Amino acid sequence: MNRRTLIGSLTALPLSARKVDAQDSATLRPRGIPPLKITDVKAVNANGYVFYRVYTNGGVTGVGEPSPSNGPLNAAFVEMVKPLIAGMDAFHIEEIWQKLYIGLYKTRGQSASMAISGVDIALHDIVGKALGVPVHVLLGGAVREKIRMYASFTSRDRTPADQAKLCAQSIEQGFTSTKIKIASRHGYDAPPKYPDEDMVREVRSAIGPKTEMGVDANSGYSVPTAIQIGRMLERHHVYAFEEPVPFTDYAATAQVRAALDIIIQGGEQDHTRYDFQKIITAGAVDVVQADVTKAGGLSECKKIAALADAAGLGYTPHDTSHNIGLAACLHLVASTPVCRAAQEFIMEPGSKKHVLRTPFEPQKGYLQVPQGPGLGIELDPRYSE
């Protein structure tokens, strides 16, 4: 059968055989699902943790998280977002993303991308709920049902001995990987509170020689110093070196990468596929770290993952959330083959602000991917409607 004959036979099929009618085709939704028009967008402050609710006329509401790094701007951006997407069909996720990206072009930057991220996550939650499927099904289906996590610590103020103790405790709890802070954040080679090698040596001694260990410098060094530090990290069998030099300087990061054998990671401060294309073209990193609550949401992070995969790189999302953002990240990682390494779980004491009825708690270093409709989470009754 030639192509013309095949196309003709398909168009001759009755609608019942083609499983689609004119309205379904025009609205990009499965047959029998009515339009879900966006009626409102609200920022909810849950004891300092801000998340978005997106409402529809069909009674299906979605939740999404814009990165808490945006602070009070998350609430302010809602008033800019709402008029752009009011009345649009929640199923048209890509169209809405483009509307927001173009509509916010006068304020384009990471703050705008954080707001877009929150809305995009909420839209996936809505569509998943409407169809009765988890978000990872919308993203292509799960290639893994549980995710290996690494214990991430964010303080630079504790002694090497105290940090080593916390890392050892996390390994005893079942984690097989951990990450600590080194350097003086954005310090331009300023000495950290405790010497880097003392910190690394103590932690490595406490967790043993086989446990994966990463470090995050948060843009702390110049290129020559970052290379010296990197060689020290290699001696202590450190797995990955995150953001060794100012994150804005892709060429400098590429210099560090070229000089070392250790894995170089970066990208938590970047957003949209356009930034990450520049990072990849510069040869700056081995692993990209686009954050689903910062980089443009699930829609954009899937595109960034494809760029990384095509370039032979890894993708380990940055994630400091314990709530909605973490749920979105789990669905992303579950459905994205290139996310092969352990993923971030913040273990910093006092950092957890739970707004979920059932908080995420790793078991033997793993988190199960939510299987309920949408994001598959329930909010604590205090924050539910």
Reported as a single tens digit per residue, the pLDDT across 257-268 is: 999 999 999 999
Choose between 280 and 7: higher pLDDT.
280
Per the prediction, the chain carries an average pLDDT of 92
Selected from 3.90.470.10, 3.20.20.120, 3.40.50.1100, 3.30.450.20, the CATH number assigned to the domain covering 139-383 reads: 3.20.20.120
| Fold exhibited by the domain 38-136 | Enolase-like; domain 1 (3.30.390)
Catalogue the active-site residues. Answer: 318
CA atoms within 13 A on the CB side of 24: 11
pLDDT given for residue 117 in this prediction? 98
Per-residue b or e along 343-362, where b marks 16 or more CB atoms closer than 10 Å to that residue's CB: bbbbbeeeeeeebbeeebeb
Q: Which residues contact 230 (CB under 8 A, 6 or more apart)?
A: 241, 244, 256, 259, 260, 262
Decide: 339 and 333 in contact? Cβ < 8 Å.
yes
Does residue 241 have a pLDDT over 70? yes
The structure tokens listed for 59 are: 């009674």
Confidence of residue 326 (pLDDT cuts 50, 70, 90): very high
Does residue 13 have a pLDDT over 80? no
Amino acid letter, residue 195: P
Averaged pLDDT for residues 31-55:
92
Decide: 356 and 378 in contact? Cβ < 8 Å.
yes
Q: How far lies 207's CA from each of 194, 294, 362, 366, in Å?
A: 19, 32, 18, 18
Averaged pLDDT for residues 313-317:
98
Q: Which range, of 199-208, 345-354, 363-372, 373-382, averages the lowest pLDDT? A: 345-354
Closest CA to 319 of 274, 357, 289, 275: 289
Averaged pLDDT for residues 31-47:
90
Q: Where are the domains of the chain?
A: 38-136, 139-383
Averaged pLDDT for residues 309-336:
98
The structure tokens listed for 212 are: 């994966």
Averaged pLDDT for residues 39-64:
95
pLDDT given for residue 29 in this prediction? 62
The structure tokens listed for 148 are: 């290996």
What percent of the chain is predicted at pLDDT more than 90?
Answer: 86
pTM of the model: 0.91
Closest CA to 219 of 199, 241, 203: 241
Decide: 54 and 117 in contact? Cβ < 8 Å.
no
Euclidean distance between CA atoms 284 and 237, whole angstroms = 21
Decide: 188 and 219 in contact? Cβ < 8 Å.
no
On the question of a common fold for 38-136 and 139-383, the answer reads no
Q: Is the dihedral of CA 325, 331, 332, 333 positive or negative?
A: positive
SS (H, E, C) the chain: CCHHHHHHHHHHCCHHHHCCCHHHHHHCCCCCCCCCEEEEEEEEEECCEEEEEEEECCCCCEEECCCHHHCCHHHHHHHHHHHHHCCCECCCHHHHHHHHHHHCHHHCCHHHHHHHHHHHHHHHHHHHHHHCCEHHHHCCCCCCCEEEEEEECCCCCCCHHHHHHHHHHHHHCCCCEEEEECCCCCCCCCCCCCCHHHHHHHHHHHHCCCCEEEEECCCCCCHHHHHHHHHHHHHCCCCEEECCCCCCCHHHHHHHHHHCCCEEEECCCCCHHHHHHHHHHCCCCCEECCCCCCCCHHHHHHHHHHHHHHCCCEECCCCCCCCHHHHHHHHHHHCCCCCCCCEEEECCCCCCCCCECCCCCCECCEEECCCCCECCCCECHHHCC
Confidence of residue 9 (pLDDT cuts 50, 70, 90): very low
Confidence of residue 31 (pLDDT cuts 50, 70, 90): confident
pLDDT given for residue 354 in this prediction? 84
- pLDDT tens for 104-161 read 988 888 999 999 999 999 999 999 999 999 999 999 999 999 999 999 999 999 999 9
- pLDDT tens for 67-116 read 998 888 999 999 999 999 999 999 999 999 999 999 998 888 899 999 99
